[in-house]
Amino acid sequence: MKFTRRDALKGLGGIPLMGAVWWAGAANTVAKKKERTAILEQLNIQPSLPTAIPGIGGEPIRIGIIGFGIRGEQLCRALGYATNEWKEEMRLAAEENPKHSGLKDFMTQDKLNIKLTGICDIFDYRANRALKSFNTDDNKMLRFRTHQEMIRSGKVDAVVIATPDHWHAPMSIDALENNIHVYVEKPMTHTVGETYRLREAARNSKAVFQVGHQHRQTLSFQTAKDIIQKGTIGHISLIQTNTNRNDDNGAWMYDIHPDASPQTIDWEMFLGSAPKVPFNKNHFFRWRKWWAYGSGLSGDLLSHDYDRLNCVLNMGIPDSVMTSGGIYTHRDGRNVPDVLNVNMEYPNFSTGGSQKKNKEQGMSFVYSATLGNGFNRPTHLMGHDGTMELGNRLTIWPDSGSTRYGDMIEANKMSPGVPIYHYNPGASTPDAVASATSQYFADKGLMWTYINGARVDSTFLHMREWLSSARNDGKVSCGIKEGFEEAISSHMAGLSYKLGRRIEWDHEQEVLKPIEGIDFDEALLAPM
């Protein structure tokens, strides 16, 4: 049948023409410029700005910070509170490199109607650092020795939880049961059982619960969702995403502070439910390297990649997961793998398609990771009609076997080797990052997004959404439903690695299919 341009472009749509947007298949002749303009108009791909949210009016929301390590400090900056040391570090960085805009971005960030009223950290140095930086004549910040003390103090309306993974669920549940709003870092839970208990607590609480997957505010991901819904790349049968890092920070070999000792760290509080072992600085500062406190690559980094694709596709929990890997680079006493390969199967998932009805169904989500090599491998969503490369930028290539674009490719109006669409919202904004690991997060859209050409901290937008929802009875983008899906999917990957077998999900019963003789939580926490 005759395949017209109208047919080829029907249903495409989604992104405002901001930043660098182009159709590479058109040359710079007058005729081709007209053709390019016509195609872009019909594509109508306009990236959506983050959803407009009500302001945070009334009395300031009183926030307590639980955990003031690396991520805790970052979250405080998103709330508008930076330590004196960090501001000086950023000032010196800008002097050395004028493109380094960390301090400028922070100083121009919108102000939130909040007060930091409490800090809870079991390391005296960190707690005192927060008090020294954030105490003012108008706001005397309190130090709490335990999260229970903070939650029941009457001094906080909300808590931000940035602790080792094994404390996420207990602290979140305690806060929710006391109707204290919760922003908790990923992964949402440390075990399967915790995931159900936290879901129940969130459902029964009057408080607002948000999981720290800040990429849900990134423009390119919102745009990708719109493009896929409109059939631009056809049915997606394969997703390939990854983590590649090759520096000490990326391998969780964080600095050990010289002031650390049994006198300055509440070791028993750090351990919590973990096995009782003698004081160990390596375990305290580099906790991600052990299953007792962290969740390895599956909970720390796969969880990010899973959720940023789940926010685009709404694919939910996979039917089954198979995982392999090992400790191949950092044989330093850790018991979590530094190389991981995960296959998640969705046999009934469909994004629609251009072939005959019911022909296209099913998808594989493939994740691979290494902490021994930093080569950049983008995320690819592979559809029958095209391939999307997705990070902070977005690019679409037509496929040589496309049904939708076949006649246009044959007529040389499109070429499989040339993108038909590219969106780079930060094209006019120079980016300067401090490390290879920071570049990894930036490329994935985990650090910032762009609004009207200005770079904006994605975490700021995510926390603003949470606070606005708390004040205005709104809906968050990564609440308990999304957190439950992230946690279960990540745990399935961890269990498959631990057990060396396929882990399956029962969608009707909403449970992992049992394996005779296996306690899933014991298996997750067991050292290898």
Q: Say which CATH number the domain at 212 has.
A: 3.40.50.720
Say if residue 50's pLDDT is above 70.
Answer: no
Q: What percent of the chain has pLDDT over 90?
A: 69
- pLDDT tens sequence across 309-344: 999 999 999 999 999 999 999 999 999 999 999 999
Greatest Cα-to-Cα distance within the chain, rounded to the nearest angstrom: 79
List CB contacts of 434: < 8 A, sequence separation 6 or more.
Answer: 93
- Identify whether 351 is part of a domain: no
Instruction: Assign 372 a pLDDT band (cuts: 50, 70, 90).
Output: very high
Q: Which residues make beta-bridge pairs with 475?
A: none
For strands 421-424 and 394-398, give the pairing.
antiparallel
Across the range 366-378, mean pLDDT stands at 95
Nearest Cα neighbor of 360 from 452, 260, 231 is 231
CB 272 within 8 A of CB 167: yes
- Identify whether 166 is part of a domain: yes
Say if residue 148's pLDDT is above 80.
Answer: yes
Say if residue 99's pLDDT is above 90.
Answer: no
List CB contacts of 431: < 8 A, sequence separation 6 or more.
Answer: 99, 442, 455
Q: What pLDDT does 448 receive?
A: 53
The alpha carbon of residue 25 and the mean position of all alpha carbons in its chain are separated, in whole angstroms, by 33
> Cα-flanking dihedrals φ and ψ of residue 346, to 5°?
-130, 75
DSSP assignment string, 84-140: HHHHHHHHHHHHH-TT--HHHHHHHSPPPSEEEEEEE-SBHHHHHHHHHHH--SS--
- Identify whether 232 is part of a domain: no
- Identify whether 455 is part of a domain: no
What rounded mean pLDDT belongs to the chain? 87
Across the range 61-87, mean pLDDT stands at 96
Nearest Cα neighbor of 102 from 130, 129, 72, 78 is 78
Token pair for 526: 């067991």
- Identify whether 31 is part of a domain: no
Say if residue 82's pLDDT is above 80.
Answer: yes
> CA 514 to CA 37: how far, in whole Å?
56
- Identify whether 508 is part of a domain: no
Token pair for 83: 């330590």
- Identify whether 446 is part of a domain: no
- pLDDT tens sequence across 289-309: 999 999 999 999 999 999 999
- Identify whether 348 is part of a domain: no
72, containing H or E segment: helix 70-78
- pLDDT tens sequence across 409-458: 888 878 888 888 888 766 544 443 344 444 444 455 445 566 665 677 88
Q: What pLDDT does 446 receive?
A: 46
Q: What pLDDT does 230 receive?
A: 84
DSSP assignment string, 278-297: ---HHHHHTGGGSTTT--HH
The alpha carbon of residue 446 and the mean position of all alpha carbons in its chain are separated, in whole angstroms, by 6
Instruction: Assign 49 a pLDDT band (cuts: 50, 70, 90).
Output: low
> Cα-flanking dihedrals φ and ψ of residue 300, to 5°?
-80, -45
Nearest Cα neighbor of 67 from 76, 77, 80, 79 is 76
Helix axes 458-472, 70-78, angle to 10 degrees: 70
Q: Which residues make beta-bridge pairs with 119?
A: 65, 143
Q: What pLDDT does 46 receive?
A: 60
Q: What's the structural domain count of the chain? A: 1
The vertex-154 CA angle with 148 and 159, nearest 5°, equals 60
Amino acid type, 351: T
Tell me the helix, strand and coil percentages in the chain, rounded to 5.
35, 20, 45
Domain that holds residue 135: 61-216+460-480
> CA 213 to CA 209: how far, in whole Å?
12
Q: What pLDDT does 348 receive?
A: 95
Nearest Cα neighbor of 170 from 67, 50, 46 is 67
